[in-house]
A and B are shown apart, each in its own frame.
Chain A
Amino acid sequence: MSTHAQAAEVHAGASVGTNVTVWIGLVAITGLEVFLAYEHLQPALMLGLLVTLSVIKAGMITSYFMHLKFEKFQLVLWLIPATIFCICMMLIFFFPDSFRLLQLRR
């Protein structure tokens, strides 16, 4: 397949209706996050829930608005696992020491 045909193939994306639906979903999740903020949850639980909802929103923006869902799957494989790996490396090397410091503080 020629480059031009390949590029034309990946340009087929979501319709206006789908993008508006995604937008409504994003606003709805934002409303849910504001609601959760006033539920008097433990900070660690609150953080976990908010980060989970934010990751879902990030996935929606990346897939539809940034068009990644309609790009070649090799691009997804090239970008996403490496980014997640680097973030996990930050967490793995950060948290053991941070828990030790938390215990010392208490």
Chain B
Amino acid sequence: MHETKTDAALSSPWSGGTAPFAMGSKKLGMWLFIVSDTLTFSALLITYSYSRLANPDWPRPFPMNPAIIFSTTMTVVLLASSLTMVMAVMAAQRGDRRKTVLWMIATMAGGLLFTGLHLREWVHLITVEHFTITGNPEGTPLFGATFFGITGLHMTHVMIGVIYLGIVATGFGRGKFSAEDVEVNGLYWHFVDLVWMFVFPLIYLMSVKY
């Protein structure tokens, strides 16, 4: 039988025409983006960790109430939103459009709640405790720069993630996007959650007020 060019291309993983790692280019591209963003946050957190250990006058502005209670709640909320995103991806792979959109809306709600709580934390620190990005009432001014810089960058990622979720949920509900698009969206959301797993202990828990 005459072998077509497609047959030749698909005959082995090395002859071109197959998906590397058995995944589409969108998913592969998202994984590459995640690796690069991981290195960005790693650089920031490593330099923060050094500053934290090198400065004996590092402020401890986070009492149990409200700072640690709020930030722990934020962590649980973000973890819950990751779980709802997993449910959305599973529903998308089953082809259940209605449930996928509902789970994605729940994920967006988690992201918005996280952002709201975080902004409330920021307002309290700035207006009541007088910690700003350029200085603090006590201790090294590096605290304000690192705290607002790192948490601000993370919060930006969360907001972008919420917008991304809205676009994909709308598109998937209308049949414009596929289950793969929901899965790729999920990868980004889980990455945002993963970064917070490092930010919360290093920034909040290392500076609790006893």
Contacts and interface: CB of A to CB of B under 8 A. Distances in A.
Interface of A: 2-3, 6-7, 9-11, 13, 16, 19-20, 23, 26-27, 30, 33-34, 36-38, 40, 43-44, 46-47, 50-51, 53-54, 57-58, 61-62, 64-67, 71-72, 74-75, 78-79, 82-83, 86-87, 90-91, 94-95, 98, 101-102, 105
Nearest to A77: B21
B28 to A, nearest CB: 9
B202 A47 contact: yes
Interface in B53-79: 53-54, 68, 72, 75-76, 79
B14 interface: no
B76 A30 contact: yes
Interface stretch (B80-88, B119-127, B129-137, B159-167): B80-88
21 contacts: A3-B18, A3-B19, A30-B79, A30-B200, A33-B201, A37-B205, A37-B206, A37-B208, A38-B210, A43-B53, A47-B49, A47-B53, A51-B49, A54-B198, A54-B202, A58-B197, A65-B82, A71-B23, A75-B31, A90-B39, A102-B53
B75 to A, nearest CB: 5
B205 A50 contact: yes
Contacts of B158: none
Nearest to B62: A37
B33 to A, nearest CB: 12
B83 A66 contact: no
Contact of B193 (A10, A40, A50, A61): A61
Contacts of A51: 49, 198, 201-202
A71 B20 CA distance: 12
Given A54-B201, A66-B191, A75-B23, A20 B54 contact: no
A30 B80 CA distance: 13
